Amino acid sequence: MDLLILITEDITTLLIKIIEFTHVRQKILIQNIKNIQSPGFVPKDLEVDEFCSLLNDAIDEHIQSRQAILRDTENINFRISSGLQVKSVVDEFARQLLEENRDEYVKSQVNKLFENSLNQRVAAELLKLKRENATINN
């Protein structure tokens, strides 16, 4: 497995990675809703907890050393040149919910979309403020 470490001194990189992650996740969640009637369809998602843990570790490191260290995992790869690369995984809870109660499945997916959208908006707004402050300070 080709695991890399991305080291950055700027929190901007972390915000960009959040935006990239939520963008990919949004596409996956939309497909989960669109394909509800497709025979044999299996809902997927990204490893949200894993991503959050990696970001928390990077932020902790940034607080201590002024450098954020982003470590690759099997499902999440932080690439400088090609951007964030993530691997979707089967969402077992969603698959079971889809089989048992389609209405609850759709509600669950919509709730995930709302949460994901909020995370993306917050990261985008923080990035915008950070860039505005950098412009003012220069």
Position 46 scores a pLDDT of: 98
What's the confidence (pLDDT) of residue 83?
83
Interval 92-134: pLDDT, tens: 999 999 999 999 999 999 999 999 999 999 999 999 998 887 7
Structural domain range at position 83: 5-128
- Does residue 64 sit within a domain? yes
Number of separate domains in the chain = 1
Phi-psi region of 66 (alpha: psi -120 to 50; beta: other; left: phi over 0): left
Q: Is residue 12 part of a domain?
A: yes
Mean pLDDT of 78-105: 92
In this predicted model, which residue has the larger pLDDT, 79 or 111?
111
Q: What is the pLDDT of residue 2?
A: 44
| CA distance to 1, 47, 82, per residue, from 117 (Å) | 31, 16, 23
pTM equals 0.88
